[in-house]
Homo-oligomer: A and B are copies of this chain.
């Protein structure tokens, strides 16, 4: 009872963001809409289907806006995320993850009864497991072969392995070969060469798709990921679908890689200066448990403090953030700060709610519906 009262107190509507009980995630609706429309427009212009990765936001309300802007479906990393979105009526989902185990295969087939489902696979073993469950459930599951185009994570290694796996998929009952996909994660490590990394990723994937078609395998879907590839999507020949995630909020890393600027970052953490132990140090009430421990690939420190370029968020503990202050800067205890995170995707995973802001006022609170769906 008491907890409910406090929780309601914390979720006030109509206040300014700096009146929130901190730390608190805030989402600027106009910037969110701008990022969604910008990516939808890029994909439309390139003639490529857009299937945003919802692992970034885990929010039903954001997913609905992405679909309304012209996406046919969503991408998720975890089956649990897919279940939450399906439960909220989202009917077209790609689980971009190799699923293993009886429990997961049963859950996948139950999901396939609710929604149009695609799933990634890079091994015969995973395909066999899904096939057995699909037969038991009387469903057909669409499989995309994941190809490692250079990032070095999951995926078959070349066209020959892809063809071998395609043959397995075609042979197994309850499965349908839907296409190929890659992550394109190598774009993140290439600040001066995103275009090259994106091209190399797309070329390798398209080569694999062509080889499959030449081998007689129907391969309609050729899908790449990663927000940094967005600027190059119109030039990437043979790609049918794009699965960016972080673009929806943006963050320090994406701004460094060219997805807008820091001013386009829709997600911020609002925090408060709670201690001024020394002249050159301010401590805020936010640490790794609200910002995550994710480092930026292309920036120093733990976040950008909006409006205070000389303040360095130099050090985080779990619930403390230490700001190194230059001479002459003297924020009082109680000063509210807004932080643009290194990596937005880790943050929604830490919070139950996000305050939705428009025109300087909290208009709504969205529950992070798919948070905690780790499996």
Q: Residues of B contacting A157 with CB < 8 Å?
A: 277-278
Tell me whether B156 and A333 are in contact (CB under 8 A).
Answer: no
A317 within 8 A of B: yes
A148 close to B375 (CB less than 8 A): no
Residues 325-375 (chain A) with a chain B CB within 8 angstroms: 332-334, 345-346, 349-352, 372, 374-375
**Residue of B6, B83, B97, B274 touching A319 (CB-CB under 8 A):** B97
Task: Report the bound CA distance from A285 to B22 in whole Å.
Answer: 33
Contact pattern, A 104-135, Cβ under 8 Å of B = 1, otherwise 0: 10010010001000000011011000000000
Closest B residue to A56 by beta carbon equals: B318
CB distance from A177 to the nearest CB of B (A): 19
Q: Give Cα A375 to B20, complex, Å.
A: 10
Q: Is the CB of B374 within 8 A of A97?
A: no
When the two chains form their complex, are residues A123 and B346 in contact, meaning their CB atoms are under 8 A apart?
A: no
Please give, as numbers and ranges, the residues of chain B lying within 8 Å of A99 by CB-CB distance. 274
Contacts of A275 in B (CB 8 A): 98, 122-123, 154-155
Query: Contact at B153–A320, with CB atoms within 8 Å?
Result: yes
Docked pose: A3 CA to B2 CA in angstroms: 26
This protein's copies in its complex: 2
Nearest chain B CB to A251's CB is how many angstroms away?
13
A14 to chain B, nearest CB (A): 15
- Say yes or no: is A240 at the interface (Cβ < 8 Å to chain B): no
Which of B9, B281, B289, B334 is A125 in contact with, Cβ under 8 Å?
Answer: B334
B107, B272, B293, B345: the one contacting A295 at CB < 8 Å is: B293
CA distance A350 to B374 in the complex (A): 9
Q: How far is the CA of A244 from the CA of B27 in the complex (A)?
A: 36
A301 within 8 A of B: no
Contact B320 A103 (CB under 8 A): no
Instruction: Among B24, B100, B289, B351, point to the contact of A333 (Cβ < 8 A).
Output: B100
A272 touches B100 (CB 8 A): yes
A174 to B323, CA, bound (A): 31
A38 CB–B CB distance under 8 Å: no
Is A252 an interface residue, CB under 8 A from the partner? no
User: A210 in the interface, Cβ–Cβ < 8 Å?
Assistant: no
Q: How far is the CA of A84 from the CA of B1 in the complex (A)?
A: 11
Q: Which of A253-301 contact B (CB under 8 A)?
A: 272-278, 281, 283, 285-286, 288-290, 292-295
Q: Is A87 an interface residue (CB 8 A)?
A: yes
* Contact (Cβ within 8 A) A100 B285: yes
Which residues 1-45 of A have a CB within 8 angstroms of B?
2-3, 6, 9-10, 21-24
A143 within 8 A of B: no
Given that A83-B2, A319-B78, A345-B318 are contacting pairs, would A126 and B274 also be in contact in the complex, using a CB cutoff of 8 Å? yes
Known contacts A23-B374, A24-B375, A319-B55: A333-B126 contact under CB 8 Å: yes
Residues of B within 8 A of A272 (CB): 100-101
- The residue on B at minimum CB distance from A4 is B87
B10 touches A152 (CB 8 A): no
The 9 closest A-B pairs by CB, nearest first: A293-B293, A154-B275, A77-B319, A21-B103, A98-B274, A352-B372, A125-B333, A100-B274, A290-B374
Q: A9-B107, A100-B334, A286-B374 are in contact. List 12 more A-B contacts (CB 8 A).
A: A3-B87, A9-B103, A22-B101, A23-B374, A77-B319, A100-B333, A101-B272, A125-B332, A125-B334, A154-B274, A350-B374, A351-B374
